[in-house]
Amino acid sequence: MDIIKTSIEGLMIIRPTVHKDDRGYFMESFNESMFSEAFPNIRFIQDNESKSSYGVLRGLHFQKSPFEQTKLVRVIEGQILDVAVDLRFNSPTFGEWQSFHLSSTNKDQLLVPKGFAHGFLVISNEAIVSYKVDNAYNPMADSGIFYNDKDLGIEWGIDESQLIISKKDKLLGSFKDYQI
């Protein structure tokens, strides 16, 4: 497992070791011992999975304190553009975002720490996305920021007419208005 730091503190790519041969491949998608050695303060408690078609945009979601969640995101099938926005008020990168191409081919995983909004766009015909979380979902703490907030200026890379967005996500607030 390789840990690759990004330009935003705490946001990291986790690259598993993939063993390939003529039969296919084998990899450990998660190893608790290795992960807890690298990240001793993170303990995942739940796995979530979604299947979506091209153009589905999920996010930007986060849980308000004290129900924030660290996520470890990976793609089982297909490709996504994964986006994380730093919402930590005391962070030097507050309000900055980064995007990552995660796919079933590259096997990269994104570690999204507590204090970030997170979302993804499916850029293949379909995608199955799996992610671990370290805190239980609380519907009263559920929050988010609208995907095309002008203050964030996230570049999703496809025409807005191709986006498929849930009714709930169409009602998310602005970056200026959010309070964690």
C-alpha span between 28 and 19 (Å, rounded) = 10
Cβ–Cβ under 8 Å, residues 109 and 73 = yes
Which pairing describes strands 116-122 and 79-86: parallel, antiparallel, or unpaired?
Answer: antiparallel
Marked catalytic residue, from 19, 25, 54, 61? 61
Q: Is the CB of residue 120 less than 8 Å from the CB of residue 59?
A: yes
Give Cα 49 to chain centroid, integer Å. 12
Are 137 and 131 spatial neighbours (Cβ–Cβ below 8 Å)? no
Annotation says 131 is catalytic:
yes
Amino acid at 76: I
Give SS3 for 139. helix
25 is catalytic: no
One of 118, 131, 147, 178 is an active-site residue; which one?
A: 131
CA dihedral 130, 85, 112, 53 (to 10 degrees): 10
Amino acid at 138: N
- Which residues are the active-site residues? 61, 131
